[in-house]
Structure 1
Amino acid sequence: MRASRLVQLLLILQTRGRTTAGELAKELEVSVRTVYRDVEALSAAGVPVYSEPGRAGGVRLVDGYRTRLTGLTTDEADAVLLAGLPGAAADLGLGTVLATAQLKVLAALPPELRGRATRIAERVHIDAPGWFHRPDETPTLNTVADGLWHDRKLRVRYGRKDKVVDRTLDPLGLVMKAGTWYLVARDGTAIRSYRVSRIISAEPTGESFDRPADFDLSAHWSTAADDFAQSMLRVRARCRIAATHLRLLRLMNEPVAIAEAMATATEPDAAGWVELTLPSESYEVLAHGLLPLGEYAEVLDPPELRARVAETAARMHALYND
């Protein structure tokens, strides 16, 4: 642990130049006394590091000195790929190696590029979860990730809506979608997705497995996500909507549903109305997606959905005219 901290201290000094002991202590999460002991250890090992007293002082390296400790470890290389999502790296147990990897990358850059990289980090932040989204509790994520890194089979208990099932899985990938973690795993010959927050328990079986040579996580997830979204569109309704309000459909319906609907849209008629067929997972969901458009949307078919919307509108009218 101390060796790793000494390397991190050295890279901080090389990247930032003179830094106060207090700043180093905060960065390394140790005491100021420990920082000074680490500085002495580096000096004893032949690193030209020294402390400058006074208000403008601090710890620094001799001008011109550059360490060669800029090679990335395997874990650090993995962490760099998550550099835009520090929360994701922390979830997977890579928070510390991510910080060290970023320091190594900065230390390896020439001064002019180092300044640009620092400015980017100061000005761009990625917040993956959507608004009003509380992250899932994922107590098994570390175990799942460990099985993934080492190609080890996992025995899991998974909670579905109606029951708990036991599965032995080959973990092939982890995907974060809108702040929620999903495990993509092979169950026998089938590759399925499992919400990590629903994995009640996970433990390694002690067996290894061979990953499919042609498996592409990104391509698999894209296809699976589209297939899932498409499978949810079980009902369809023919509607007419004012062209001026078509954009509001995008706020209340899934993108895959909007894409299908717009493919069926006619040109606006003389009154500015467009006919289209809108898919959804149920008529109830579809009704709630159309009602916010008010008088700018009309259901033409099926009759049961038209009746549902009319009944809801009548009750709203009665409520506001009581």
Structure 2
Amino acid sequence: MKFDRLLSIVLLLQHRALVPAKELAERLEVSQRTIYRDVEALSAAGIPVYAERGKDGGIGLVNGFRTDVTGLTTDEARALFVLASQSAHSALGLDHALGSALRKVMAALPAPHRPAAELTSRRILVEPDRWHSAPRPETDLEALYAAALTDRRLRVRYRHSGRTTLRTYTLDPYGLVSKAGTWYLVADHKRTPRLFRTDRLSQVSVLEAEARRRPGMELPQVWQDLRREVEDREEGVRITVRIHRERLDMVTRIAGYYFTGPPVPEPGTDEWLRVEFAYPVAKAVRHLLQFGADIQVLDPPEAHAEMARAIAELAELYGAP
């Protein structure tokens, strides 16, 4: 919208003496001719904006024309600019809004705090996605977001972990949570709180019916209750293994979620460490096959036997040497 663009121009000019028209055009994704027309519109509206021609020229505001926000400390200003990567904002269709909001905040900051905030935005980046994250199916996060904001029910098709078939649910959404780069929909199903990974959702439909959330319940409380359920689940089978010291970092990165405590030195050797895993079932110990001979399962006997069966199956499939 033109109004938003005019406001963005004013805010960009407030913390620069002169800004080239080409730079304004690139940042606002319009032509330089449009920028000059916008400058004329601002001048006609009484904004003290001017243009200087020439190699070192540009567009500027008369000194002293600016807004101010009082009460912010330097650390508070820095905190505003330590933001997650644009992946989360893009997923919700808010990437352009993020850029606009930061320009407005920067222009409104007290002059002494602007350098610290701008430097922080260039020196600190929070990236929520893990290395080598697998591609995830496209999910209509904007529809989920819209349903949560407008208090509408949702009808979705969902694939549960380990299943190939889809189930249909009618949900009353509380909102969305992004955890370690994974988006979750928090919603009630038949008045019971449920957690749905958005990358397993398909055929998302926003219904006309109003969401029927439980009275007094809000997203932070429901999320905390659901998260506690996940974290407090029974550990299942405890498995003792030894790990080659040189592979500890890799194992921790990939399978550290299942550790029940820190690795400890293996008695009598400097090459091996001992650690205890907790898997939901003994068969899940096959997860450790990816580390080859750098991991050895010690206890319990059923986990050791499960690894032996898996190795025998692989040898039969590929042919023993």
**Match of 1:206, SS?**
strand
- Alignment match, 1:193: 195
- Alignment match, 1:301: 300
The one-letter amino acid paired with 1:108 is A
Q: 1:210 to 1:173 in 2, by over 3 A?
A: same
Identical amino acids, percent of aligned pairs: 32
Distance 2:138 2:246 in 1: 44
- Does the alignment pair 1:12 with 2:15? no
Q: 1:248 to 1:299 in 2, by over 3 A?
A: farther
Cα distance, 1:126 vs structure 2? 2.1
Residues 222-275 of structure 1, C-alpha deviation per residue, up to 9 Å, x if partnerless?
Answer: 5534644665854333446688986665234242x21x255xx88864667876
Q: 1:159 to 1:237 in 2, by over 3 A?
A: closer
Q: 1:135 to 1:118 in 2, by over 3 A?
A: farther
Distance 1:31 1:266 in 2: 63
Distance 2:310 2:148 in 1: 52
Distance 1:102 1:183 in 2: 27
Residues 264-306 of structure 1, C-alpha deviation per residue, up to 9 Å, x if partnerless?
Answer: x888646678766432245454245277374774514315624
Cα distance, 1:307 vs structure 2? 7.0
- Does the alignment pair 1:204 with 2:207? yes
What is the TM-score of this pair, normalised by structure 2?
A: 0.78
Cα distance, 1:124 vs structure 2? 1.6
**Match of 2:146, SS?**
helix
Distance 2:119 2:81 in 1: 19
Q: What runs of 5+ residues in structure 1 fail to find an aligned partner?
A: 71-79
Cα distance, 1:57 vs structure 2? 0.2
Matched-pair contact (CA < 8 Å) for 2:156–2:204 = yes
Root-mean-square deviation (Å): 3.7
For residues 229-308 of structure 1, the aligned pairs below 5 Å read 231=233, 233-239=235-241, 249-255=251-257, 257-258=258-259, 260-262=260-262, 269=267, 277-283=276-282, 285-289=284-288, 292=291, 294=293, 297-303=296-302, 305-306=304-305, 308=307
- Alignment match, 1:115: 115
The one-letter amino acid paired with 1:206 is A
Cα distance, 1:139 vs structure 2? 4.3
- Does the alignment pair 1:130 with 2:133? no
Matched-pair contact (CA < 8 Å) for 1:243–1:268 = no
Cα distance, 1:25 vs structure 2? 0.5
**Match of 2:127, SS?**
coil
- Alignment match, 1:171: 173
Matched-pair contact (CA < 8 Å) for 1:287–1:309 = no
Cα distance, 1:209 vs structure 2? 3.9
- Alignment match, 2:97: 97
Distance 1:267 1:127 in 2: 33
Greater Cα shift, 152-161 or 234-243: 234-243
Matched-pair contact (CA < 8 Å) for 2:286–2:310 = no
Q: 1:225 to 1:81 in 2, by over 3 A?
A: farther
Q: 1:296 to 1:10 in 2, by over 3 A?
A: closer
For residues 34-73 of structure 1, the aligned pairs below 5 Å read 34-67=34-67
Cα distance, 1:156 vs structure 2? 2.4
Distance 1:110 1:192 in 2: 44
Q: What runs of 5+ residues in structure 2 fail to find an aligned partner?
A: 71-79
Cα distance, 1:92 vs structure 2? 1.1
Matched-pair contact (CA < 8 Å) for 1:252–1:289 = no
What is the TM-score of this pair, normalised by structure 1?
A: 0.78
Cα distance, 1:214 vs structure 2? 4.2
Distance 2:17 2:121 in 1: 18
Cα distance, 1:47 vs structure 2? 0.1
Matched-pair contact (CA < 8 Å) for 1:240–1:300 = no
**Match of 1:136, SS?**
coil
Distance 1:236 1:68 in 2: 59
Cα distance, 1:138 vs structure 2? 3.3
